[in-house]
Each structure stands twice: as C-alpha cells, then as structure tokens.
Structure 1
C-alpha cells in the first residue's frame, strides 16, 4: 500500500471525535481505499507524534495530521484540509478557512476542543 498523503490521528475513546471521524471516513472512502488518506487511533500508538513534541493529551484534545510533506497539521487546520478533499464540503473550507475567518475558526475550534477534552476526562474516557 502506498504511503498516505494525509494521516489523521484522533481519539476513538471520545464518542464525538469517533463519530465525526467515522462519518468523514465514510465520505472519503474512495481515498481511504486508495491509500491517499488514513485515519489512525492515537490510543493504539500513543507516541506516534512524539517526534513533533505532541503528547497523547495534545492529540486527544485536538485533531492532528501529517501531510504529504511530513509536516504536522493541528486542530481546525486538519478539519479545513479534510473539507478541501471531501466532495461537497469545499464550501466549508472556503467559508471557515479564508484569511478573515481562519483566526476565529481556530479560536472556536480550540475552545470547543478544550470543553470536549474536559468532558471526556471527567467521564473517565482515558
């Protein structure tokens, strides 16, 4: 199988994250089957992104991905990258990823991620 051009790391123990990635994976099934994109559970390889300085909690808090150039992509930027390649969702990337909106998108994504992370910890999903 070829090396994926985009590998997304996420937390399957978070029901919201798991459902969201499952939904996205199904929309990108052709790319998944072609090996262009890959979705991985960080709980199976907790040190997978240690070379980037990303801890297990960092990845449980926010989506992380490795792009085709081997660069780390984090948070809202992962969502925007996924929208760009998902049929019918390019408009989301254009709306939330444009120069004017991107700072707000990142801010609100991070606040939502913080709340979700705290909820998962409180519920003992580690």
Structure 2
C-alpha cells in the first residue's frame, strides 16, 4: 500500500531538518505504519522531476505526494501534515480553510524565500 503522504524536504537546511524531525516524532505511529514518509531530496534529487519540480524547488519549500500520486507544494503540505498530526487538526482548519489558505500560502512563500536565500548565502548546497 502506498504511503498516504510522502514529504520531500531539504535536510541541509537546519530549520527544515529540525522542523521535519519534530513533526516526524509527533507522527511516529503513522511513520511506523507506513502511512507517511519523510524523504531527503538531496538523496534523490530527481525524485520529483516528472512533476517539473527541480532540486532547488524542493530546497525552497516542502513538496509531497499523496496516495493518488498528486503533487502538493508549500503551505498545502504543512496543512496536510497538521491534519494528520494528533492535536494539530485545529491548525489545519484555521490555516487551511477557504478564506485563510491564500494568506497562509502567501506568508509561507515569503518565509520560504527568506530561508532559501539564507541557506544559499550560507553555502548549504
């Protein structure tokens, strides 16, 4: 059975790596059951190329594939993770609802841009 969600992230970014490690620990039962997987894009840089996603795209923001094989990007991945995380469903409802989601995406993308630039300046490639 394919994973419900496979999350691709950049382990070379200390903020991303710590955030995913923290989230993975909260989702340990789902990870052990194979319902969710976390993958380092640096180990398989072309893993999402068939979607048109480059290595830098995934280094800039979270990418994931769902059980249907659809690509999910950025804030939508965070919302999906919150929805699966015990005790964090309220975050998915608050930031992922029809009214809030455009703002959530905007602020997520601005933060991702800053984090990506910081990692590039710091030579984390």
Alignment of 1:1-126 (within 5 A): 2-126=1-125
What are the ranges of 5 or more consecutive residues in structure 1 without an aligned counterpart? none
Show CA shifts across 1:59-100 (max 9, x none).
000100000100000000000000001000001011101111
SS in 2 for 1:125: coil
CA-atom RMSD in angstroms: 0.5
The count of residues paired between Structure 1 and Structure 2 equals 125
What is the rounded CA distance, in whole Å, between the counterparts of 1:122 and 1:49 in structure 2?
25
Over 4 Å off, 4+ runs: none
TM-score of the superposed pair, with normalisation by structure 2: 0.99
What SS does the corresponding residue of 1:73 show, helix, strand or coil?
strand
Distance 1:3 1:96 in 2: 27
